[in-house]
Amino acid sequence: MTIQQKSDRSFHERFLLSTVAVLTAFTLTSCSTLVTDQYEATALTTYTWQVKYAYDLTNEPSPRFETFATTSLLNRNGIKPPGTVIGPDDRGLWWPTLPPRPSVSEVEQRQKPQEQASTPEILKAVEYRLTYTLGSQQKTLPTNYAVYRQVVKAYPSKAPLRLTLGVGDNSVEKAEIVK
């Protein structure tokens, strides 16, 4: 290895190390924590029918997808929602009844000449949110399943939660029951 190569390698190592240090510092300083006893977690469960369209369904590199009927149900703090629901599932979530399956005619109406259409498939999606109040300010942020479950456990006793917010305080990354 020449002196120039060693110098270049040393520079790249120092640059990489300093970049990692700056990013770590940024990540650590851009997250904050708070404690609140006023909160609500929601999980919006959704079923959507989808059909894939392509000239060759098995080998098409970029098929076209069309969505049809959708139904959604809002779960609050793990409590069974009113009305006709399915569940709870293995994750403690309640689901809406299935939307009507698209008919053959509906699928064909969206089909372009020479295209094939797949069999309709049902997609499941969940969107988690946490609303909390701190002082007189109420905020709703996206979150994840783990946070939702912590709220479900804490909610009956209204136990205070320590929330760890994500980068820029734009999400809730973690919730812990304060003892």
| pLDDT tens digits along 55-70 | 999 999 999 999 999 9
Decide which of 5 and 96 is more confident.
Answer: 96
- pLDDT tens string 36-54: 999 999 999 999 999 999 9
CA–CA gap between residue 42 and residue 61 (Å, rounded): 37
Q: Which residues are within 8 A (CB) of 72 and not within 5 positions of it... i.e. 6 or more apart?
A: 44, 45, 46, 47, 96
Q: Average pLDDT, stretch 97-103?
A: 98
- pLDDT tens string 115-151: 999 999 999 999 999 999 999 999 999 999 999 999 9
Q: Which residues are within 8 A (CB) of 14 and not within 5 positions of it... i.e. 6 or more apart?
A: none
Buried b (16+ CB within 10 A) or exposed e, 52-88: bbbeeeeeeeebeebebeeeebebbbbeeeeeebebe
Q: What is the mean pLDDT of the chain?
A: 90
Instruction: Provide the pLDDT for residue 3.
Output: 61
